[in-house]
Structure 1
Amino acid sequence: MAKPSPEQQMTVELLQSFEQEAKAMLRRCAATRRQVSRYSFTRYRGFFEEVKSFLVLAAFTRSKLVNLQMSATERGHLVEHIDGLERRVSRAAMEVARAFYGLMLRRDLIYLGGHERCDEDRQLLGELLERDAEKSPDRKPDARLERDVKAVEAVLEEIVRRTPPMRNFEPLDIPKH
């Protein structure tokens, strides 16, 4: 049996680490979904930053595979595998987002800066859909992901409607004794 080339070895290690990270993110999404009722906005934002980091890792892994010397069929299978894991994590993150923001609305909570943060989340959701469309222009888009994004966007729109922007926020003058 021939020894694998350094390029093949790197590919195997990269895929293994990506798969481990994907599994860890899926576990994190499931745990967050169960505990979302105890999450503060800051803690939720930390979770979403982890999701964004995972999406960057997926793009990096995909770009490295595209540049490697291998058959087009093999590359296609590996890229499809990466896309599938990324889709699963994206869907799980959408479930968490929908649960968190839905809970915010049910509890009638307003977070300071929620208006701006919801705009950031809406921008991220748009990027998520664009990324999914770019990956497979010949296939139809992931309908479930689109539906989840639209549901979260509707909730975000309601939160933005209820929350005044920070630029309109005026702190109370508290007299000093």
Structure 2
Amino acid sequence: MQADGGIGAALEAVLMVVDEPVSAAELAATLEVPQPEVEHALAALAAEYAAQGRGFELRAVAGGWRFYSRPEFADIVSKYVLEGQTARLTQAALETLAVIAYRQPVARSRVAAIRGVNVDSVVKTLVTRGLIEDAGNDPESGAILYQTTSYFLERLGIGSAEDLPRLSPHLPGLDELEAIDGAY
């Protein structure tokens, strides 16, 4: 890692994808730089954001660092999140939701294998929107299993997952899905 401003940019890149506070020690290990340099860069970034009056801030909480919306924008953010519940789903979200609906209960890793991409953020979005929920843990791997919710069924106008339209046996790639299924 570069010893100059590259540390700040690298920290921003990592902190943009975390969903819980990350310790300076963990960030230092990830960036392969000494922890005091990371701590200095984090403090400098937090001060820079505060001085610029950005809509977000970098906070040290719960033993780690994470981006948060500034408190004075809480009403706006809350309004956006709640109104976002009615926003249309992206193609990625629709594909992920379809896999979960037809394969439930299913682990996130299986959904990712079927789709061929990381689905972590999409799954969070679907959980936030109340379309999928935790269905317990896989007894073998301990992974969280996901299933559709009653809200999902209500939005589709069906009574249960068994009422979902049947997938055609002639879909391209169906053999590949079975092979992927057997791998888990």
Please tell me the TM-score bracket, short chain as reference.
under 0.3
Higher relative contact order (CA 8 A, sep 6+): 1
Q: Which has the higher strand share?
A: 2
Q: What is the TM-score normalised by the length of structure 2?
A: 0.25
Q: Which has the higher helix share?
A: 1
